[in-house]
Each structure stands twice: as structure tokens, then as C-alpha cells.
Structure 1
Amino acid sequence: MSSEDRFRRAYAGNFEALLAYASRRVEQPEDAADVVAETFLVAWRRSADLPPDDEIRLWLYGVARRVLSNHHRGGTRRERLGERLRQRLTAVSSPDPGSEVPQRLAVRAALRRLSATDREILLLNVWEGLQPAEVAKVVGVSPAAVRTRLSRARARLRELVGDDRDAPGHVLDVLAAPVPKEG
């Protein structure tokens, strides 16, 4: 199979997961599309060097993670460009009403208070559904470190959001997500 065919298969099989991954880590949907486009640009340029099929998804998450790091470092420039784009797009689209939900805002605020690595490990596990061993490959640490950090991040998030189920910020699908078993 040619490297172009492998790239096409990798793109088709991973585009939606990477878009969801990026969407959860940026403020604007346009930024998520840019992150995914750049991730696949790197994959296209390195299509001859793509890892085996069973490792490609984790490799793409690793590339997306580095693209996101670069994205966040260029914040000032992007903010100016984003402001211009938002002014042009306001006539075309309306803001997401879900972004005003107090529970989501409370959870996002609590997530921001976690360390960057703990937040990333927690989000890869809960939102992306990766096993601790898979998270370890993406982040570049040992599976034992991932399990420890995951436990600590969950406890800290519960502490920040609170255990009162009626209070704003308590979102069952974030706090009570089942712990995936490694297989």
C-alpha cells in the first residue's frame, strides 16, 4: 500500500477524533480546525514515515498535542486575528449557547486550575477515551506516572468543583466518568 493510501486511511479514520480533541482545548472552533489541518499537514509531509497502523492514532494525538502547544504560544497574534475574524463572522453565525451554561463554565474554570500536564492527562483519558498506557505514549511519561497523575487530577477536580450534585459545576459525565480498564 502506498504512503498516500495510508495517509488517506489515517485521515478518514482519525479526523473526527482529532477535531473533537482540538475543539476541547481551544476557545474558538476555527482554531480547532486549524490545529487539525496542521496536524494532518505534518502527517502528509511525513507520510512515508508514518508508524504502523495500530500506532498511528496515538502518533497523531502526539502531533496534535505539539501543534496545540505551538498554537497556545502564539496567543497574542492569534487573538488579534481572531478578533478580526469574529467581527466578520458575527453577521454569519451566532455564538454557541452551550458556552453560557454555568456548569460548563465552572468545570472549565476548575480544569484551568489543574497543572497543564494533569489537565492533559485527564482530558485524554476522559474525553478522548484513551487508556492510561495510551495516554503515556501521547504525553511521553510512564503508564505508572499517568495513573498517579490521573488519580490526583480527578481528586483535585472533585475538590475544585465540589461534591454537591445540585451546585453549579457538578457535571456527572465529567466527574463520574468510569475509569477505563487497560486491556
Structure 2
Amino acid sequence: MSEEGPGSARDDAWFEALFRAHATAVFRYLVRRGAGDDAQDLAADVLATAWRRREDVPEGAELPWLYRTAAYVLANHRRKGRPVPVAEVSDEVDDASPEQLAVVDDEVRGVLAALSPRDRRILLLHAWEGLDGDGLAAVLGISRGGADAALSRARARLRAAWAARDDVPAG
């Protein structure tokens, strides 16, 4: 049996399966991170990187690898000085009044802003992307135990920051 080289039918099938399974998730990841109109191009860059580095993409952990690559691609994009639009507010209907939603949204943003960039990233990867355990570890480039501990610490700091917003000194 002959060994298949780069660009073989097996590689093509692998990439097609990767694309079908994860292209939309990568695109959404980039949109949520503020890539806006550039998200589609950046997602294509991420997938092109996966193709070039297909031997480095861990089997069974493709999506975390793609998310980590997307974070690097987006960081490089931002370093180039292109304007990155602010994420839009969701149009979803909620029972709360617009005023209540605005107050809560501001409070959540304020509490998240009080956290370190690493804690924010960990919490958002967990909440938005559904990553924990091995997936979170792969994206962060740390061990599973380290990822679990980092998520636990980030949650604790989030709880503390949320509680601190209610600690208004009596005047």
C-alpha cells in the first residue's frame, strides 16, 4: 500500500470534515470577539492555518485548537491597526424593561471589566463556547488540572467582584 502524501484524498476528506464540523463555530467565535466584517476573512485564515498545519491539529481536539488559532489570528489582525467595531447589542426579546436590561448589562460589563484579561477570557470561553476541562486546557495551552483551577479561580473572582458592586458605603 502506498503512503499518501500532503494534499492527498485523505487530507482533503479530513479538511472537508473539519470545515463542515467547525467553520461556523470559528466564524461565530470571531464575531463575538469583535471581528465584525472581517470575521469571515479571519475564519478563512484560521482554516487555512489548519490546512497548512494539519499534522499539528490534535485528533479529537480540533475545535479547541481552532479557537486558540483564531485568538492568535485575531490578535495579529488587531495589531495591524485595522479598526475593530464594538459588538452589537442583542435584539432578543426579554421580559425585563429596556431600562432594567441596560442597568444589568452595564453592571455585568463593569464586573467583567474589573477582572483580569485572563479571567475574562477563561469565563467567556466557558460561557460562550461551552469549553471546560480538556477543551479549555487546549485553548489556554495548559494542563487539564490547570484549566480546571483557572476556571474555578476566575469564577471565584467574578463572584467577589459581583458581590463588591453591592458594597456601597453608607454616606
For the pair 1:58 / 2:59, whether they are aligned, the reply is no
- Give the corresponding residue for 2:128: 127
Q: Where does structure 1 lack aligned partners over 5 or more consecutive residues?
A: 84-94, 165-183
Which of structure 1's runs of 4+ aligned residues deviate more than 6 A? none
- Give the corresponding residue for 1:98: 90
Alpha carbons of 1:105 and 1:71: their partners in 2 closer, same or farther (altered >3 Å)? farther
Query: What is the CA-CA distance between 1:162 and the residue it aligns to?
Result: 4.3
- Give the corresponding residue for 1:2: 10
Residues 58 and 65 of structure 2 are in contact (CA less than 8 Å); yes or no, is this contact kept in structure 1? no
Residues 31 and 39 of structure 2 are in contact (CA less than 8 Å); yes or no, is this contact kept in structure 1? yes
Query: What is the CA-CA distance between 1:8 and the residue it aligns to?
Result: 1.3
Residues 39 and 63 of structure 1 are in contact (CA less than 8 Å); yes or no, is this contact kept in structure 2? yes
Q: How many residues align?
A: 148
Give 3-state SS (helix, strand or coil) of 1:8's partner.
helix
Encode CA deviations 1:53-98: one digit per residue, 9 max, x unaligned.
Answer: 4122222122112112223333xx212xx68xxxxxxxxxxx9453
Using the size of structure 1 for normalisation, the TM-score is: 0.65
Alpha carbons of 1:6 and 1:125: their partners in 2 closer, same or farther (altered >3 Å)? same
Report the AA paired with residue 42 of structure 1. Answer: T
Which has the higher Rg, Structure 1 or Structure 2? Answer: 2
2: distance between equivalents of 1:141 and 1:163?
Answer: 30
Residues 50 and 56 of structure 1 are in contact (CA less than 8 Å); yes or no, is this contact kept in structure 2? no
Cα RMSD for the two superposed structures? 3.0
- Give the corresponding residue for 2:46: 39
Identity %: 35
